[in-house]
Structure 1
Amino acid sequence: MPAEKPSIVVGIATSGRRDVLARNISALARQTRLPDRVLVCPVKPGDVDEISLGKYPKPTLVVSGPVGLPAQRNRILAECKADDIIVFFDDDFFADDRYIENLETLFVSRPDIVAVTGTLIADGARGPGLNMEEGLALLTARPASSGAGDDLIEYYGTYGCNMAFRLKPVIEHGILFDENLPLYGWQEDIDFSLRVMPYGRIVKSESLCGVHLGIKLGRTSGVRFGYSQIANPVYLIRKGSMSWRHANKLMWRNIAANIARSFFPEPWVDRKGRLKGNLLALIDIARGRDSPGRILQL
């Protein structure tokens, strides 16, 4: 990667959040270091406001591909073979205005780093979600980030709402998101980053920050998500990209939460549906018929 001026692309896979995406593209125009291109892969053409996209001051491209987060991200990767860095943002992740500037500094100054994930000021995915005004207010109220310095933490994997990768090893080794993890693709971010890990360090940086709204619109059903909570880690264990220890902790923590909270569920979470999905996956595992793709039949 050329040290002086790497090419940085922002990739956004989106579904059913036209207004949020338009606001996000507008916010990206305030970056102190603009990404060289913005690539958007929607589920449907109507998911993108072409007028707002056309106002962005750098080149943009809308690409189409199969439905599902891993497939959409792979379609974006297919357009980045001449670039140096890819940053994946969720359509409801709003980045600090210095995010791309700090990212560039980090990758140029630390050639041993292959992947990085940022720090969340707030994560609406862990609660009822945030609206755009709440998220942007939190972002504005935070002091300006100070630049990429000695704030790095070694990390197990990247968090899909905001994660960046050095593209050279990704392209040279043909690393793709696993499309056997359909739809929402739960844990596809961890799987991808762990397959990149042999080629450099994976870190978390406090200098790369933003707000994840965690909007519930467009999410997978409770039963399907609950099935994925079990079937996806088991699949990744067999594949060799996730450790037994990490997967077991992940699975049993989710099962316990779904059992405990099914009696008094949060209004924004279908706990009974998730628990049903957990049990269906466990039954399928016992029968030897489990597969992440089974959610398409539920």
Structure 2
Amino acid sequence: MISPSAEATTQNRPLRIALGIASAGRPSILRETIDYLTGLPHQAERLIVCVPVIEDAAGLAGRRNVEVFVGSRGLTAQRNRIIRAAAADTDVLIFLDDDFIPAATFLPRMAAVFAARPEVAIATGEVLADGVLDGGLSMQQALEVLDTAGEAAERVADVYNAYGCNMAVRLAPVIAHAVTFDEQLPLYGWLEDVDFSRSIARHGRSVHVEGARGVHLGVRSGRQPGRRLGYSQVANPVYLIRKGTMSKGRAIAQIGRNILANVSGALLKDRLIDRWGRLNGNLLALSDLLVGRASPSRILEFGTPSPREMPSSSAAAKRR
């Protein structure tokens, strides 16, 4: 257990830490990550997994140190299911993508920050390498990055939002203020981490924790149709502006970067990403904005999504 690293206590007891992983359609990746996590020297009190169908957790059901829940499909709905499962006996819940590989010191470092700084409501660690940027990393490559990373700093600084691939939240304010992931952001929940971070940051600090390190494999399960994600790249920021969880300036900059990346990628014939599909989705969302019908949930009208269109986090897409 990691409690020795958390000297400060809640009601004279060490903080209880849980890990939560939402996954869909990637049982082998999920199992590899779980095998790694359960082999670390510092363990959380609970390891909670939520999948839309039990087959997505193949090889995990029945394992003594893993709790598997089946919930509604969609990153936001699955993460809400994890919150409900953890609420009764957890102080800090750390959401990890199913392909995020934390360093051995990640858990005790996060635990120490939450124990020493009761004003911290949400925190995110250092991503030393992100496979989303170059087609994906293997577990072996991730371990090599962690092994050669050198000395880690231990600074804590305020940050606008946590990065969804590794996001630790203090559950007391989440429960007290009924903060949830917005299930109006369907499927991969594009920008769900920004929305949740800004919602909980009203009740405490949002910080970046140096020394809490990890590698995001950014595993791609084949070439994904981009129309849905392209639509979300425009509709979701606009929705968050209206909701008040994303500033207009940040949202417009985000939309502009994504459209420019898709135009550039389409012209340069990007082989890793369906840039034409994403650009088509961008233009459709802009058209819908003009007639007043743009909505994050509209992507559900674009046919039945496959598991490949269910990334473990919007974080992966956001980096591209």
| Partner SS for 1:115 | strand
Match of residue 285 from structure 2: 281
1:261 Cα shift?
2.0
Match of residue 20 from structure 2: 11
Change (3 A) 1:144 1:40: farther
Q: Deviations over 1:157-210 (max 9, x none)?
A: 011000000000001111100000000000001100100001111111121110
Match of residue 49 from structure 1: 58
1:1-298 equivalences in 2 (<5 Å): 1-2=10-11, 4-51=13-60, 54=63, 59-82=65-88, 83-143=90-150, 145=152, 149=154, 151-217=155-221, 221-298=225-302
TM-score, length of structure 1 as denominator length: 0.93
Change (3 A) 1:290 1:220: farther
Runs of 4+ in structure 1 deviating by more than 3 angstroms, as ranges, are 1-4, 49-53, 143-146
1:144 Cα shift?
6.3
2:60/2:66 contact within 8 Å kept: no
| Partner SS for 1:117 | strand
Match of residue 3 from structure 2: none
TM-score, length of structure 2 as denominator length: 0.87
Equivalent-residue separation in structure 2 for 1:189 and 1:218 (angstroms): 24
For the aligned residues, what is the CA RMSD? 1.7
1:137 Cα shift?
2.3
* The 10-residue stretch of structure 1 (255-264 or 46-55) with the greater mean CA deviation from structure 2: 46-55
- The one-letter code of the counterpart of 2:129 is A
Equivalent-residue separation in structure 1 for 2:160 and 2:25 (angstroms): 31
Q: Deviations over 1:248-276 (max 9, x none)?
A: 01001111111122111321111111100
| Partner SS for 1:157 | coil
1:133 Cα shift?
2.2
1:85/1:166 contact within 8 Å kept: yes
The total of aligned residue pairs comes to 292
Equivalent-residue separation in structure 2 for 1:219 and 1:71 (angstroms): 25
Q: Deviations over 1:51-94 (max 9, x none)?
A: 58716xxx421111110000000010111112100000000000
1:132 Cα shift?
2.1
Give unpaired runs (5+ residues) of structure 1.
none
Change (3 A) 1:65 1:136: same
Equivalent-residue separation in structure 2 for 1:12 and 1:121 (angstroms): 20
| Partner SS for 1:33 | coil
Equivalent-residue separation in structure 2 for 1:28 and 1:2 (angstroms): 28
2:61/2:68 contact within 8 Å kept: no
1:10/1:39 contact within 8 Å kept: yes
Equivalent-residue separation in structure 2 for 1:219 and 1:104 (angstroms): 37
| Partner SS for 1:79 | helix
Q: Deviations over 1:73-130 (max 9, x none)?
A: 0010111112100000000000001111111111011111111001111011122111
Change (3 A) 1:145 1:254: same
1:47 Cα shift?
1.3
Equivalent-residue separation in structure 2 for 1:181 and 1:261 (angstroms): 25
1:136 Cα shift?
2.3
Q: Percent identity?
A: 42
- The one-letter code of the counterpart of 2:18 is V
2:224/2:274 contact within 8 Å kept: no
1:24/1:93 contact within 8 Å kept: yes
Change (3 A) 1:175 1:205: same
- The one-letter code of the counterpart of 1:63 is F
| Partner SS for 1:202 | strand
Equivalent-residue separation in structure 2 for 1:113 and 1:259 (angstroms): 39
